[in-house]
Amino acid sequence: MVIIIPAFNEGERIGAVIASVLALGKVVVVDDGSADDTGAVARRAGAVVLRHVINRGQGAALQTGMEFALRILQAEVIAHFDADGQMRSEDLERAGLRLQEQGEGIVLGSRFLGCAALKPTTLKPTDQGMTFSRLLVLQGGLIFTKIFSGVAVTDTHNGLRVMTAETAKKLKLTLDRMAHASEILDLIKVHEIRLSEVPIVVSYRIDKVGQSNWGMFPIVRDLLKKRLIG
């Protein structure tokens, strides 16, 4: 398995993230124009580092990683994993096993599935809880995705995915920024890719709560623009 980790200014966390997944496969970190030492730390931790000379966004970084994994490493299985230390390696391992059972297509992580379902616990970010406002945005995203892409999933903007090389070849991402997650669902629908979800746990932290809720507006804008001008 080739694990692709897009990273932007994650020098403080990337080392521990790589260490947690290194036993599961080859790690490729795409340093998306970081101003800190993300690339150097990742290299020391044992990852192959691809560096974007300027920041192009998470979607662009993932596509760079996938092309590298397919063209240079001849990967058979490709995984996406976040660089901010909020995901668990055991969830990635479980998603990999699910793909093995499935034999084709893609496995997506879901924060709202099964016993690991994440519940909103607070109005303010804490070490574990998801805020109510984030929950509302994500649930709105599910409805939007259902209407827009026609794909019924329980979690749309989740960065944990495991797929076969055949699937990765079909998922050519053209949306460079955060809308890539919706584009992936679009492409899954278009190419009729076999899809399943596994429950995962995401640990939210006080110091970094990931993407802002306002980030939904550029995502919707990019998706509409793609539909309008291709």
Partner 1 sequence: MWFKFGLILFAIYTIVNTFNQYHAKKVPKSWVITYALIWLVGIGVAVIPDWFDRLAQAVGVERGADLLVYLAVLGLLYINYRLMIRTRTLEQEITAIVREIAIAEGQWDAGKYGRN
Where along the sequence are the contacts to partner 1 (CB under 8 A)? Answer: 22, 26, 28, 30, 43, 46-54, 56, 60, 63-64, 67-68, 71-73, 174, 176, 225, 228-229
Q: Distance between CA 161 and CA 3 in Å, rounded?
A: 10
End-to-end Cα, the chain, rounded Å: 32
Closest CB to partner 1 among residues 191, 225: 225
Q: How far is the CB of 113 from partner 1 (least distance, A)?
A: 32
DSSP secondary structure code for residue 215 in this structure? G
Closest CB to partner 1 among residues 40, 117: 40
Q: How far is the CB of 46 from partner 1 (least distance, A)?
A: 5
Q: Is the dihedral of CA 11, 16, 20, 23 positive or negative?
A: positive
Q: Distance between CA 190 and CA 46 in Å, rounded?
A: 36
Q: How far is the CB of 156 from partner 1 (least distance, A)?
A: 23
Q: Which residue has the tokens 């970081």?
A: 34
Q: How far is the CB of 63 from partner 1 (least distance, A)?
A: 7
Closest CB to partner 1 among residues 70, 135: 70
Closest CB to partner 1 among residues 53, 147: 53
Q: Distance between CA 113 and CA 99 in Å, rounded?
A: 17
Query: Which residue type does 93 have?
Result: E
Q: How far is the CB of 229 from partner 1 (least distance, A)?
A: 5
Q: Distance between CA 209 and CA 213 in Å, rounded?
A: 10
Please give the helix or strand (H or E) that residue 120 lies within, else none: strand 120-122
Q: How far is the CB of 115 from partner 1 (least distance, A)?
A: 34
Closest CB to partner 1 among residues 44, 119: 44
Closest CB to partner 1 among residues 173, 216: 173
Q: Are 196 and 95 in contact (CB under 8 A)?
A: no
SS3 label, residue 196 = strand
